[in-house]
Amino acid sequence: MESNILVIYTGGTIGMIQDPVSGALTPFNFDALYKHIPVLQNFNCKIDTYCFEPLIDSSNMNPMFWVKLAGIIEENYEKYDGFVVLHGTDTMAYSASMLSFMLENLNKPVVFTGSQLPMGVLRTDGRENFINAIEIAAAKTDDTPVVPEVSICFENRLMRGNRTNKFNAENFNAFLSGNYPLLAQVGVHIRYNHQHILKPNFKKLKVHKNLDPGVAILKLFPGITEAVVNSIMTIPGLKALILETYGAGNAPTDPWFLQALSRGIKSGITIFNVTQCKGGSVEMGKYETSVQLGGIGVVGGFDITTESAIAKTMYLLGQGHTGLTFERLLQTPLRGELTIE
């Protein structure tokens, strides 16, 4: 049976081609998709397109954009078997993470992809990424989608969206899933790792559009001053702080530092401890330098990425969760975004 796929172009490098006269980069005409990429006609699927107007550079991503993107998927959910989101690479991991939380009971593929070079450039990686994403979004077994979750397809690898980081600004292999196995590897065949892919629950899609941006990130570094920490902890309206610590969740033990965090927690700010490392997990209490964090009420984030932690806190706060319930949900895998040790 033929699959129907909706390609949503939000902006980014992948959708640009070079004008043959001026040499300037201009947006790709997705109405002429089959003309530019004729091999798509060999796929057993029908492809429709939706282009954001105006197009959005990924550096300008924000909650309003995520709400609009989730709304487009919601409006078209029953019409299509899968979705491919063309997105700038710089904040793709943030958007894929956020959509994973906003789209509860997702039972169809939402595959993010992009490129390091524009589609119209000779050595572009965009063409291959795009074709792979289409094939994965259309893949079914017994009329059930093979990858019914939000993912990122890049450089012949398929990764869970809320497990990724962009770690390279130059190589085609730009994304890393440091704490979770690949969902698929693309070679002569697409090898799906079915045991690592979320299973469909066949419940009705619920789209959550209330997001609370009252969050911030504090990245620790040697020599961080009391003034810097206090300036973050006293931001008006701050409800949650992502604390990027060293290694397995370690932080300074200076009294002023712990006191600043403790004051923030007592004032109602939830502090979520995530590691700066691209692989590995926060293990509160493994070293003496993290024991005191747990003692004052800092919440351990296990192996969640910073991108996913930001998305999850905005999502949960937007649902009205506070206090102990908020903390419990932060440490609960909701969309496969973390592994509890």
Residues taking part in catalysis: 13
Containing 110, the helix (H) or strand (E) segment is strand 110-113
Cα 276 to Cα 293: distance, rounded to the nearest angstrom: 16
108 and 239 Cβ atoms separated by less than 8 Å: no
Q: Which amino acid is at 55?
A: L
Contacts of 222 (CB under 8 A, 6+ apart): none
247 and 280 Cβ atoms separated by less than 8 Å: yes
Count of CB atoms within 10 A of residue 15's CB? 28
In the numeric block, the tokens 């192996």 are attached to: 303
Cα 284 to Cα 175: distance, rounded to the nearest angstrom: 27
Which of 297, 301, 228, 300 has the alpha carbon at shortest distance from 269? Answer: 297
83 and 111 Cβ atoms separated by less than 8 Å: yes
